[in-house]
Structure 1
Amino acid sequence: MHLHILGICGTFMGGLALIARAAGHTVTGCDAGVYPPMSTQLEEQGIRLIEGFAADQLSLKPDLFIIGNVVSRGNPLMEAILDAGLPYVSGPQWLGEQVLGGQHVLAVAGTHGKTTTSSMLAWILEYAGLEPNFLIGGIARDLKVSARYGPGRQWFVIEADEYDTAFFDKRSKFVHYRPRTAILNNLEYDHADIFPDLAAIETQFHHLVRTIPSNGLIIRPRPDEALDRVLARGCWSPVEAFGPGGHWQHAPRNGDPCHFDVVLDGSPLGTIGWNIGGEHNRMNALAALAAARHAGVAPATGIQALSRFQGVKRRLELRGTVNQIKVYDDFAHHPTAIATTLEGLRRQVGKARILAVIEPRSNTMKLGTMAARLPQALEQADQVFCFGATSGKHALGWNPAEVLAPMGTRASSYDDLDTLVEAIAAQARAGDSILVMSNGGFGGIHQKLLDRL
């Protein structure tokens, strides 16, 4: 079957394309922003990419169009598909109906940590010899690709996003996945462009809970009041908790944050030693170990796997060092994630300076719904540089200079990328860490900074 994917360069749709290709389909696709690393991944797999959404793509005559949630009414190709009465389906629905059936699906949901926890879980299953299929919104160094599919395999790890499915299906993507093992990693307000409040997101998570069988397993953190409310609305599956007061806990070893003991119901299981910082990653590890145990992997094996885990690209990823100045890349784009990332880096560098560079690019951040939380989220940074375009697709609906005013001279804002790079370079000195945070390509700022330095 020939599938033509609209919005193919998004992390989910790009992974879907790789899976469809591995399943034996002919795959083509289009997007308004065809750029690496996803474009490189796709082209290496022989998937033809087309820039833009021109209506003349109907001439490809695919058997089915798969529609990403980046596509809305008014899109010229979508309008042509509708006018011609051609068959189309959302990406999550196609995946659920054509790929996930018959497999044990392990879904990782939550506001934060989905990609990292999914990668940890898939790596544990891989290390244990289970050869899982997976679809993850990032590339783990150990797994090398964001998606993999082999027909006939038993396990499928999927990053389960709460964002809406498509313009014609406003349910969260994850309701299509029907997991048997579900990690609900955390829950707070996000996606202000589609959810009016936290209660609306809780309803979607409750829809997910309703799909988990009674012989499945829900894994959730303690404490988390929003998840408490979700499960209070009805829960038909066993629940294992991790974190303070939960079944799964961690304990520091000799004050070293990169070595910690894993404890289950009061019994120590072993020690994880890795080079990944942050309390959030220790919690992610507990969730992954619990899910892997539900798939039959002994915790001791999971602990060995995580001790070899190398992390995920764009999660505090060191992009280069010039003149003793380190440049990091991180996907953080929500105040909580920004604060958590800075906290993790601060633990690594001690009293050395951190220059934080942010691009508020997500729909929630562009709308300004959480802008007021940024000064507090950025408190661990010594200097803050905010890039806010005043026009174009990613223009902000608020003034960064006003929002960051409480930070005084520690913060500055720019609407020109080259000017921003020069300003950062002028401030940077030996021993500094430059932390770039954005959920987009940010105009290739990482390499621009390394070249300028």
Structure 2
Amino acid sequence: GNVVSRARLPDGTPKFPLMEAIMEAGAPYTSGPQWLAEHVLLGRHVLAVAGTHGKTTTTSMLAWILESNGLGPGFLVGGVPMNFGVSARLGSGTALRSAQGEEEPAQRAGDTEQRAQSARFPLFVIEADEYDTAFFDKRSKFVHYRPRTAILNNLEFDHADIFDNLAAIERQFHHLVRTVPGSGRLVVNGLEESLDRVLHMGHWSEVRSFGAAVSDFVASGEPHAFDVLEQGRSVARVEWSLTGTHNQLNALAAIAAAQHVGVAPVDAARALGSFQNVRRRMEVRGTVKWSSGDITVYDDFAHHPTAIRTTLDGLRRRLGSDSGRILAVFEPRSNTMKLGTMKSQLPWSLESADLAFCHSGGLDWNAEEALAPMGACAMVAPSIDALVQHVVSAARPGDHIVCMSNGGFGCVHGRLLTALKAAAQ
């Protein structure tokens, strides 16, 4: 949720008395997204990355592509891209390149005069969230950003605390689409029926699709090394350290968006070769050496069932079937997961894990019941201490332990590493 609300404590006093005082005084106030729009994004070519999953990673990819090609973009990311070491910067103000260095069909190139006009704007890449703006502005944050280039990466139900159903979120994405100018570009995942419905509500900009067999941009090959096909023609090759088909799709989206501001796919793909991802995206937190093999502990931000599944699937695909077990350690911490809206999807999301360990503290629903279809492969612990004990007791050399939460998770990564090192002695 947002930091400031009109919530009341059990005794009836305001949870945020400073906000109440500001309102009582009649002092001016604004939201973070509105402030960004007025003081940072105004006069810039905004490239916005929206979607239920992959926003942080794709935003970081796109910023790195532009940086590697000398465009000095500003950016705001909901994480820390390891290529930059910071989550935000204003940028150098380098102008766009107006030419793409390759010919495109007239209907794809867009109006030349409009492209030349946009070439005077400096670039800013922003992670565009669909969560509501503030307690006094219930529109999605991204409607404030007015992008010229917008990635619609994927869309499924989330944020059950503020949205009643998927249709309500689709409507907000339509509102985002309405803010993109005619000379802009929508980069849309062709595999998502929900995004098809968003486009059918109306759009006024060029659409470039990716992912599906009939899309404008398609990947051919394994997620760690693949060719990029644009309208059936091979235009680039990506070879990098990332895993998972979800990251393959993220790359296609970033390449298509970068092309809109003058970066050829071959140059974008070259930049991705040195992309280092974001902290807390399958970040290795440590390795414990045992006499007969190592145990590796990872940290990942996954908290939605689909994100959990794609994270684990990506690791399983990289490891193969004979390269150690995957132990999934997760905390249903997001508002949506706490409500239990998606608890029935948890066994499906954990199918690539050999064992699953759930921290059930703070939940109002029965985690053991939700994970019952997994039988003895799933364990539930009400505290972090108990969770660590369960994991350490089950771990053996060669295991890969993936800790997943959108919060601090009680520093479970460090506690696991300490306990595993003690057990190895």
TM-score, normalised to structure 1's length? 0.82
Deviation (angstroms), 1:99: 1.1
Q: Which of 392, 401, 406 is the equivalent residue of 2:368? A: 401
Matched, 1:275 2:241: yes
Deviation (angstroms), 1:269: 1.2
Q: Which of 297, 304, 328 is the equivalent residue of 1:334? A: 304
Q: How many Å separate the matches in 2 of 1:203 and 1:69? A: 24
Question: Partner of 1:345 in structure 2?
Answer: 315
Question: What secondary structure, in the 3-state scheme, does the structure 2 residue paired with 1:131 have?
Answer: coil
Q: How many Å separate the matches in 1 of 2:179 and 2:210? A: 22
Which segments of structure 1 move beyond 2 Å, counting only runs of 4 or more? 68-74, 150-153
Q: How many Å separate the matches in 2 of 1:70 and 1:410? A: 40
Deviation (angstroms), 1:152: 4.3
Q: Deviations over 1:212-263 (max 9, x none)?
A: 00000000011211111111111110100001210001111xxx54111111
Summarize the Cα distance change of 1:362–1:280 in structure 2 as closer, same or farther, 3 Å threshold: same
Matched, 1:248 2:217: yes
Question: Partner of 1:384 in structure 2?
Answer: 356
Question: What secondary structure, in the 3-state scheme, does the structure 1 residue paired with 2:208 have?
Answer: strand
Deviation (angstroms), 1:188: 0.5
Deviation (angstroms), 1:70: 4.2
What is the identity, as a one-letter code, of the residue corresponding to 2:419? Answer: R
Question: Partner of 2:18 in structure 1?
Answer: 77
Summarize the Cα distance change of 1:69–1:162 in structure 2 as closer, same or farther, 3 Å threshold: farther
Worse-matched range after superposition: 329-338 or 256-265: 256-265
Q: 1:69 touches 1:167 (CA, 8 Å); kept in 2? A: no
Summarize the Cα distance change of 1:419–1:260 in structure 2 as closer, same or farther, 3 Å threshold: same
Deviation (angstroms), 1:84: 2.0
Q: How many Å separate the matches in 2 of 1:241 and 1:341? A: 23
Q: How many Å separate the matches in 2 of 1:321 and 1:306? A: 26
For structure 2, the residue ranges without an aligned partner over 5 or more in a row are: 8-13, 95-121, 421-425
Deviation (angstroms), 1:85: 1.9
Question: Partner of 1:431 in structure 2?
Answer: 398
Deviation (angstroms), 1:279: 0.5
Residue-pair matches, total: 379
Question: What secondary structure, in the 3-state scheme, does the structure 1 residue paired with 2:341 have?
Answer: coil
For structure 1, the residue ranges without an aligned partner over 5 or more in a row are: 1-9, 11-67, 390-394
- What RMSD, in angstroms, separates the aligned Cα atoms of the two structures? 1.2
Q: 1:69 touches 1:165 (CA, 8 Å); kept in 2? A: no
Q: 2:34 touches 2:144 (CA, 8 Å); kept in 1? A: yes
Deviation (angstroms), 1:300: 1.3
Question: Partner of 2:379 in structure 1?
Answer: 412
Summarize the Cα distance change of 1:192–1:398 in structure 2 as closer, same or farther, 3 Å threshold: same
Question: What secondary structure, in the 3-state scheme, does the structure 2 residue paired with 1:276 have?
Answer: coil
Matched, 1:358 2:299: no
Question: Partner of 2:45 in structure 1?
Answer: 104
Q: Deviations over 1:149-197 (max 9, x none)?
A: 1474500000000000000000000000000000000110000000000
Question: What secondary structure, in the 3-state scheme, does the structure 2 residue paired with 1:385 have?
Answer: strand
Q: Which of 215, 230, 235 is the equivalent residue of 2:183? A: 215
Q: Which of 344, 347, 352 is the equivalent residue of 1:375? A: 347
Q: 1:69 touches 1:164 (CA, 8 Å); kept in 2? A: no
Listed as ranges, the matches of 1:260-271 within 5 Å are 260-271=226-237
TM-score, normalised to structure 2's length? 0.87
Deviation (angstroms), 1:71: 3.0
Q: How many Å separate the matches in 1 of 2:344 and 2:387? A: 22
Matched, 1:149 2:90: yes
Matched, 1:295 2:295: no
Q: 1:360 touches 1:438 (CA, 8 Å); kept in 2? A: yes
Question: What secondary structure, in the 3-state scheme, does the structure 2 residue paired with 1:88 have?
Answer: coil
Question: What secondary structure, in the 3-state scheme, does the structure 2 residue paired with 1:308 have?
Answer: coil
Question: What is the percentage of aligned positions where both structures have the same residue?
Answer: 61
Q: How many Å separate the matches in 2 of 1:227 and 1:276? A: 25
Listed as ranges, the matches of 1:33-112 within 5 Å are 69-73=3-7, 74=14, 75-112=16-53
Summarize the Cα distance change of 1:157–1:258 in structure 2 as closer, same or farther, 3 Å threshold: same
Q: How many Å separate the matches in 2 of 1:268 and 1:167? A: 48
Q: Deviations over 1:290-315 (max 9, x none)?
A: 10010111111101100111111111
